[in-house]
Structure 1
Amino acid sequence: MPPISGELLRARTVLLGPRMFCGLYAMHALFMPDTPALAALRAKIDEWGMFPVLDHVIALSPSPRHFAHCLAVCFEPLFDELYEALMEQLAAEPGLF
């Protein structure tokens, strides 16, 4: 098996990270108790205007075809920058729960 490239590993990280953040965003709508850190993450996603896009990524079936499609999208710099912004926000206020 050939080694996995650094770009592919980064795209996988970018794909999996925002899915978690979007899930936390959606859980607030389902009456999950709010914290300042969760509010800050939602604000960061809203600032980027990316909730509809992240919601779409989460809604896709985890079939190999859909996973490959989402993974290809995560090679785009916009998604990498969003992931970094959300990780910085999480580091600034780590007390999610």
Structure 2
Amino acid sequence: MADSISTVDLFCGVGGLTYGFEQAGLPVRAGYDIDPACQFPYEHNTKAEFILEDVEHVNGSDLAEQYVKQSDILNLFWQVKHLKLIDFINAVNYLL
């Protein structure tokens, strides 16, 4: 399952939900939280990147960067084989 889905944890706190996802085999790309005190325990408890940012200011492009920088566009293509190529291209262009 880990090859077919990954997550981003909003309001990640110290990483409890992220830890659970990782234990279940779901990779977490990043955790977002506004509290700088959460960074050390989050990074210690999980394998994900901690991003100190108010989720009110996070948009789709910010989240897409977590996947694009991990070269997941190709993985996305293989996961959505049922889409026509033009639909895939439009989806990628929307994310970028």
TM-score tier, shorter chain, comes to under 0.3
Going by fraction, where is helix more abundant, 1 or 2? 1
TM-score where L is the length of structure 1:
0.27
Going by fraction, where is strand more abundant, 1 or 2? 2
TM-score where L is the length of structure 2:
0.28
